[in-house]
Amino acid sequence: MADIGTGLLQAFKLIISLDRDLLAIVFLSLRVSGIAVATAALIGIPLGAFLGMRPSVSVRWLEKLINTLMGLPPVVAGLVIYLLLSNKGPIGQMQLLFTPMAMIIAQTVLATPIITGLSLVAVRDKHKEIRDTAVTLGASQQMIIWTVIREAKRAIMAAVVAGFGRVVAEVGAVMMVGGNIQGSTRVMTTAIVLETRKGNFELALGLGIILLVLAFIINSLLYRVQGEV
């Protein structure tokens, strides 16, 4: 128990002193997960909206596939991306393995089904009544689609946050395709694993606290935005 107590104390000291290594890890995490989620949102929101506006019978199989991929184990995603990016893989010559780009790709793969699936449900919930109302008011097809998406915006935003929550906290995929290289591909979760193994509990705990605080801040921002829009 003493370990946890001193560990926590040291962790707070590290955070307050704005330790450079720690900051570098935090920023890389945010950059990788941020870009991955933004990319996943660009794919997932239009795709989810498109599928959500179609009759559910016609997209049932695709929906099942997306729901399955929503639970895709990060290590499986990591393995597939690893095979694709490794020297013998189809895009191996791009030399992306063990770079932040590889981690972005892996996390995009993980976040896209979540954002797509949740956007699909959000849009489907709104579609019928919003569409009918917009149609009776003489809206064009384009205006109808835009209105439905705008009406589902809160749930879509929650989908994006859920996607971010998933990727920023996952360790399996980034570990496999990033390699946890210091100063290059080490992010919060992989650092926590490594530091725990090394017995550096204060750094591991510090990173854990930062991860939780970040999740809290993002959720608070979401609540605020949802209250305003």
Partner 1 sequence: MFLLLLLTLCYTGCRGRCKTINPFVYQLENISKSYAGKQVLSIDKLVIERGKIYGIIGPSGAGKSTLLRLLNLLEPPSSGNLLFNGVPVTNKSGKQVLELRRKMTMVFQRPVLFDTSVYNNVKYGLKARGYARKDITELVHKALDEVGLTEFVDRNARSLSGGEAQRIALARAMVLKPEVILLDEPTSNLDPANVAMIEKITGGLHKKQGTTVIMVTHNIFQAQRMSEEILLFFKGKLIERGTADQIFNHPRDERTDAFIKGVMIY
Examine residue 141 and tell whether it contacts partner 1 (CB under 8 A).
yes
- Of the residues 23, 42, 94, 137, which one makes contact with partner 1 according to CB under 8 A: 137
- Quick one: which segment of 35-43, 68-76, 78-86, 130-138 binds partner 1 (CB under 8 A)? 130-138
Examine residue 132 and tell whether it contacts partner 1 (CB under 8 A).
yes
Output 95 or 133, the one with its CB closest to partner 1.
133
**Site mask for partner 1 (CB under 8 A), range 188-227, x = bound:** ----------------------------------------
Output 30 or 121, the one with its CB closest to partner 1.
121
Q: Cβ of residue 47: shortest distance to partner 1, in angstroms?
A: 23
Output 10 or 147, the one with its CB closest to partner 1.
147
Examine residue 129 and tell whether it contacts partner 1 (CB under 8 A).
yes
Nearest CA-CA partner of 92 in 101, 100, 83: 83
- Of the residues 32, 51, 101, 134, which one makes contact with partner 1 according to CB under 8 A: 134
Nearest CA-CA partner of 25 in 107, 108, 104, 100: 100
Output 6 or 140, the one with its CB closest to partner 1.
140
Q: What is the 3-state secondary structure (H, E, C) of the chain?
A: CHHHHHHHHHHHHHHHCCCHHHHHHHHHHHHHHHHHHHHHHHHHHHHHHHHHCCCCCCCHHHHHHHHHHHCCCHHHHHHHHHHHHCCCCCCHHHCCCCCHHHHHHHHHHHHHHHHHHHHHHHHHHHHHHHHHHHHHCCCCHHHHHHHHHHHCHHHHHHHHHHHHHHHHHCCHHHHHHHCCCCCCCCCHHHHHHHHHHHCCHHHHHHHHHHHHHHHHHHHHHHHHHHHHC
Examine residue 130 and tell whether it contacts partner 1 (CB under 8 A).
yes
Nearest CA-CA partner of 73 in 172, 151, 168: 172
Q: Cβ of residue 139: shortest distance to partner 1, in angstroms?
A: 5
Examine residue 147 and tell whether it contacts partner 1 (CB under 8 A).
yes
- The size of the interface with partner 1 (CB under 8 A), counted in residues, is 18
> What is the contact surface with partner 1 in residues (CB under 8 A)?
129-130, 132-141, 143, 147, 150-151, 153, 229
